[in-house]
Amino acid sequence: MKVWFQKFNNSFKDRNFVTSLLVGLLFLFISLVINFIAGTYATEKASLPVTDIILSNIRVFDVDAIFIYGPVIFWTFAGLVLLYNPKKIPFTLKSIALFVVVRSIFISLTHIGPFPTQAIISSSDFFSKFTFGGDLFFSGHTGLPFLMALIFWREKELRYIFITSSLIFGAVVLMGHLHYSIDVLAAFFITYTIFHMAEFFFKKERSMFLD
């Protein structure tokens, strides 16, 4: 514990770290505002649903609890991992913000309606600010854990935990008919590109992360 306090204290004495952290938080906030606007727009403009090779051939499962509280547990764990080593926070925050912005662009472009037999998600008012119904392409439930796996790729245990989480969430949204198959499959490819974009745009933060 003493080592952690020393590490935490040293991080916040570093002006570059503090500046990067504040910018990362601001970027994340802006990205969430953009996500809200894009999600609302995509839901309002949503058209008819389409058939899907997986969803059309499996029944809908009740995934309410996992869909809502699975990410809560996941991000609590991820938050603790980051707090253990604060210098990893700025790059992670900016990468997540970039992910949210890129996904907001994608969901604004095409407005396919939700699959007609999707599970009913009784989300609270808080969770409804992040899920809209028409924000389908691509799956954030699948992509964000995979992004964390790429970010922590050099740490084997975390890599496997995050990849497993991504696969589980991908399966859950398909079982609940909450995303089309293409939303889940594309998430891996687009997220991989976003990660390399983050490495290019946030070189100082990545260097700090790997230090």
Q: Give per-residue pLDDT as tens, 10-34.
A: 777 788 999 999 999 999 999 999 9
Res 97 pLDDT > 80: yes
Q: Which H or E element spans position 190?
A: helix 181-201
pLDDT band at 4 (very low <50, low <70, confident <90, very high): low
Report the mean per-residue pLDDT for the chain: 90
* Span 133-148, pLDDT tens digits: 678 889 999 999 999 9
Q: What is the reported pLDDT for 131?
A: 61
Helices H / strands E in the chain, number of each = 9, 0
Cα–Cα distance measured from residue 90 to residue 23, given in angstroms and rounded to the nearest whole number? 8
Average pLDDT over residues 3-7: 69
Report d(CA 163, CA 192) in Å as an integer.
Answer: 13
User: pTM score, two decimals?
Assistant: 0.92
Please tell me the predicted confidence (pLDDT) of residue 134: 74
* Higher pLDDT among residues 123 and 173, named by residue: 173
Domain count, the chain: 1
How confident is the model at residue 194, as a pLDDT? Answer: 98
Structural domain for 64, as ranges: 2-210
Mean pLDDT of the region 26-52: 92
Instruction: Answer whether residue 125 shows pLDDT above 50.
Output: no
> Does position 2 have pLDDT exceeding 70, yes or no?
no
Q: How confident is the model at residue 89 (pLDDT cuts 50, 70, 90)?
A: very high
Q: What is the pLDDT of residue 71?
A: 93
- Percentage, residues of the chain above pLDDT 70: 92
Q: What is the mean pLDDT of residues 79-93?
A: 94
pLDDT over 50 at 126, yes or no: no
- Rounded to whole angstroms, the Cα distance separating 21 from 15 reads 10
CA 74/CA 68 separation, integer angstroms: 11
